[in-house]
Homo-oligomer: A and B are copies of this chain.
């Protein structure tokens, strides 16, 4: 198979690239390297079946030219930072919604008809039903990030029905592991490296969140894309547990051997659009025989190990 991975130099994308190459596939990573990293592709670049195209998903012509000749697209390029939506609403619209449209049109132009998409549990907003299944009651959006990903989902579904595409929509919880380079573990680690005596938490620290280890996430996506036979496939990906931000911080501190004083910005939510409780029902993906190998705590500890070995990630961009 010839795979095309947008955001292929990013955290999840580059891990997927390595996996697909290891399986013997040809892989093209398409990335504008705005948050992706050349170093994440050090392994991949040694493979003859690998190609990196430096390009932006908003560059329609380059995108279409690049997609040509592939069999399957993993569309992971995105503005993945859920926190700052209200500071620049256009970013989510462009990088998540319009970019997804561009990818779909590029595929249509060149007869590429299978797409997997990194959506998010954020599209459930603050749902009443927890754990939240894929067919939960129609949610209300609470973040620009969630809204922009929901729009991407709808576009993919419409292309499946209108143009005979096959679509795989994965609603992720937060993902952890090797090459993790933004999010709460990253922020806590950096802050505690600088000053281990104190740490500031967004909100009251009681937000309950779910996390999944990146290799488990990739196992799940590959299982779904290879076992499913319908046109539109929507799957939650997560563990069957959740943790409080406070506990997550304790595990990080223990692993780092630090004992900071905690201060809180207060309130139930860490930022506008933050959901105080994200916990996805993953029975659907489990019914395919998949289950995560790591617990949340193990995933967090692996992430701390990775960050400790890769402190270059905290340097200014190079």
Q: Which residues of A contact B (CB under 8 A)?
A: 85-86, 89-90, 93, 97-98, 101, 104-105, 125, 134-144, 146-148, 150-151, 153-155, 157-159, 161-163, 232, 234, 272-273
CA distance A144 to B142 in the complex (A): 23
Say whether, besides A89-B105, A97-B97, A158 and B143 are in contact (CB < 8 Å): yes
Instruction: Please name the residue on chain B nearest to A150 by beta carbon.
Output: B154
CB pair B141–A158 under 8 Å, yes or no, is yes
Contact A273 B98 (CB under 8 A): no
Given known pairs A137-B138, A138-B136, the reply for A158 and B273 (CB within 8 Å) is: yes
Contacts of A272 in B (CB 8 A): 161-162
Q: How near does chain B come to A47, taking the closest CB pair, in angstroms? A: 35
- Nearest residue (CB) in B for A143 is B158
Closest chain-B Cβ to A239's Cβ sits at a distance in Å of: 21
Q: How far is the CA of A42 from the CA of B252 in the complex (A)?
A: 69
- Beyond A98-B93, A105-B89, whether A141 also contacts B163 by CB under 8 A is no
Is A158 touching B162 in the complex (CB atoms < 8 A)?
no
Q: Is the CB of B142 within 8 A of A146?
A: no
**Would you give the shortest CB distance from A90 to chain B, in whole angstroms?**
8
Q: CA–CA, A162 to B157, complex, Å?
A: 27
Check A139 against B142 for contact (C-beta < 8 Å).
no
Q: Which residues of B contact A161 (CB under 8 A)?
A: 141-143, 272-273
A101 contact from B85, B89, B153, Cβ within 8 A: B89
* A86 with B151, Cβ < 8 A, contacts A93-B98, A136-B138 known: no
Cβ B162 vs Cβ A154 within 8 A: no
Main secondary structure of the interface of A (DSSP, over half): helix
Interchain CA distance A93-B103 in the complex, whole Å: 13
Distance of A292 from chain B, by nearest CB (Å): 23
Provide the bound-state CA to CA distance between A143 and B136, in Å.
21
Complex CA distance for A298 and B135, rounded to whole angstroms: 37
Q: A89-B105, A138-B139, A147-B151 are known; give 4 further A-B pairs, CB within 8 A.
A: A89-B162, A141-B153, A144-B162, A162-B273
The reply to whether B154 and A85 contact each other, CB–CB distance below 8 Å, is: no
Q: A153 CA to B146 CA in the complex, in Å?
A: 12
- A152 to B, closest residue via Cβ: B151
Q: List 28 A-B contacts (CB under 8 A).
A: A85-B158, A89-B101, A89-B104, A89-B159, A97-B97, A97-B151, A125-B157, A134-B138, A135-B137, A136-B138, A137-B138, A140-B234, A141-B153, A141-B154, A141-B157, A141-B161, A142-B157, A143-B158, A143-B161, A144-B155, A144-B159, A146-B154, A147-B154, A147-B157, A151-B151, A158-B273, A161-B273, A162-B272
Interface centre among A85, A93, A146, A147 (most CB of B within 10 A): A147
Q: Which residues of B contact A104 (CB under 8 A)?
A: 89
For A134, the chain B residues whose CB sits under 8 A away are: 138
The answer for the CA separation of A139 and B101 in the assembled complex, in Å, is 19
In the complex, chain B residues whose CB is within 8 Å of the CB of A93: 98, 101, 155
Report the separation of the CA atoms of residues A135 and B138 in the bound assembly, to the nearest whole angstrom. 5
Taking CB atoms, residues of chain B closer than 8 Å to A157 are 125, 140-142, 147
